[in-house]
Amino acid sequence: MEPGTLVYDPQTNRVGEYQDRTGPYVMLRPVGGGREWQADPGRIRPATPDERLSAGVRAVNDRSREGLPADPARPPLPVRGCAVCEELDLRRGRARAAFDGSAVTDANVLLRQHQREEHGGEAVPGRRVFRYVPYTIVQDPSAQPEYEARCVSGEEADCGAGSGVRSAPAEVEEWQRRHTQETRHLRYRRCFADYAVLERKG
């Protein structure tokens, strides 16, 4: 699993970014940043699109409520009319001009700390809360599911014979039995496809 992959941890009911393995566990980081936690690698699974969307919206809203920018990498902005903010912003500007990255970071940390203590959070222009609208995904009753199988038996190359698209799994299984009787091939790749619609809850 690649670092950064979003997975669902049923033990904590949370979506996190896969970081790495540590002993018998994997380390997950909350979407949007935060303290990592350990998870059982045998229980986690890739997050669904619905779970990824919900986790992303929750992270944006959490940062907005805390007075933080949606992008944690964005430097803090000074509050107009605040002498301390302006002084720290001036210090940061001098550090940038001198190409002193360490001093720039120090100024950002001090500015964020000052804004949390004196202004109730970081200045965020155009702050807004995004609303997540839940949907239920259901199978489209107006479209029939499709079933198909392809023979992948063979030592050097796959057989490649296929059942074609069928409307019921029993039809595909019957084709597999006949093909095995004729060829003694035993390995198949089966596919299922259906059509889904999203219905808004409530």
Q: Which amino acid is at 98?
A: A
Which range marks the domain in which residue 157 is found?
140-200
- Identify the domain boundary among 110, 132, 154: 132
Q: How many domains does the chain divide into?
A: 3
pLDDT value of position 137: 84
Do 60 and 77 belong to one domain?
no
Q: What is the pLDDT of residues 92-135, one digit of tens each?
A: 888 888 877 777 777 887 887 887 778 766 555 545 444 556 77
**Residue 1 domain flag:** no
> How close are the terminal C-alpha atoms of the chain, in Å?
37
| Domain termination residue (choose one: 113, 132, 151) | 132
In a domain, 188, yes or no: yes
- Amino acid at site 42: G
**Chain segment 175-194, per-residue pLDDT in tens:** 999 999 999 999 999 999 88
> CA dist 42 to 24, 38, 55, 63, 77, Å?
10, 12, 22, 31, 44
Considering the domain architecture, whether residues 167 and 191 belong to the same structural domain is answered as yes
What ranges make up the beta strands (E) of 153-195?
188-193
Q: Are residues 53 and 95 in the same domain?
A: no
Q: In terms of Cα–Cα distance, which of 56, 73, 62, 43 is closest to 17?
A: 56
53-93 confidence digits (pLDDT tens): 888 777 766 665 555 555 555 677 888 888 888 888 888 88
Instruction: Report DSSP state, residue 141.
Output: T
